[in-house]
């Protein structure tokens, strides 16, 4: 009766292996060939095709949608001393999420479309084109409880007020923990209260 014997393990050296230029180019060519074949494999497999469709559906927001979101966030958190660049940075995380998550992309696109529909009903213009702030605020009140409003509000409040460049515009000197706290440094120097 033969006993099973495990094959002896090969000893490996501690020296890093050297890859020749020719070997690197050959490996790269194989990788490129595999990538080039991938789309046809995706189309052959329905599950992969669905994943590809979802990935294609998830894209950054369109410029008009971004403009509408910037106007919405400016209306939610109105500060005349802040220019639009701060509001654009506040919605950047939403745009980044929309680029990778089809559900988030749909939520934002549908929310912007609904906002524009309500704006057209109120004033005959798209939300971003309405000059009267009171009309825009009335439109916002109609969407207050929606998942779109909750998502935009929650993301933009953090995105706007978490920018260190914004802090001096409101008299906030930043976190004090690195400087020993506020008790002996700047406790009573807020002049805007």
Residues 115-150: pLDDT tens digits?
999 999 999 999 999 999 999 999 999 999 999 999
pLDDT in tens, 71-121: 999 999 999 999 999 999 999 999 999 999 999 999 999 999 999 999 999
Domain contains 110: yes
Considering the domain architecture, whether residues 158 and 100 belong to the same structural domain is answered as yes
Read off the pLDDT of residues 48-58 as tens digits, 9 standing for 90 and up: 444 444 444 55
Residues 48 and 105 in one domain: no
Residues whose CB is less than 8 angstroms from the CB of residue 192 and which lie 6 or more positions away in sequence, other chains included: 170, 171
Is the residue at 187 inside a domain?
no
Domain that holds residue 46: 23-57
Q: Which of 86, 62, 80, 56 is nearest to 166 (CA)?
A: 86
Q: Give the count of alpha carbons within 13 A of 33, CB side only.
A: 6
Q: How many domains does the chain have?
A: 2
Please report whether residue 5 resides in a domain.
no
The span from the CA of 190 to the CA of 181, in Å, is 15
Establish if 105 belongs to a structural domain: yes
Burial (CB < 10 A; 0-12, 13-18, 19+), residue 21, is exposed
Residues 76, 46 share a domain: no
Query: Model-level pTM?
Result: 0.64
């Amino acid at each position: 009766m033969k006993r099973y014997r495990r094959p002896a393990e090969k000893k490996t050296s501690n020296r890093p292996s050297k890859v020749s230029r020719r070997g690197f180019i050959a490996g790269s060519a194989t990788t490129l060939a595999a990538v080039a074949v991938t789309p046809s494999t995706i189309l052959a497999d329905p599950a992969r095709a669905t994943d590809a469709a979802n990935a294609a559906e998830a894209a950054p927001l369109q410029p008009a949608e971004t403009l509408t979101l910037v106007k919405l966030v400016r209306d939610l958190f109105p500060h005349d001393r802040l220019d639009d660049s701060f509001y654009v940075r506040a919605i950047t995380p939403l745009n980044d999420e929309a680029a990778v998550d089809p559900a988030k992309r749909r939520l934002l696109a549908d929310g912007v479309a609904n906002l524009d529909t309500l704006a057209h009903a109120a004033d005959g213009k798209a939300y971003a084109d309405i000059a009267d702030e009171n009309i825009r605020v009335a439109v916002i009140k109609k969407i207050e409880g929606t998942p779109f409003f909750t998502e935009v509000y929650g993301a933009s409040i953090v995105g706007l007020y978490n920018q260190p460049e914004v802090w001096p515009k409101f008299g906030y000197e930043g976190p004090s923990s690195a400087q020993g706290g506020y008790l002996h440094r700047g406790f009573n120097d807020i002049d805007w209260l």
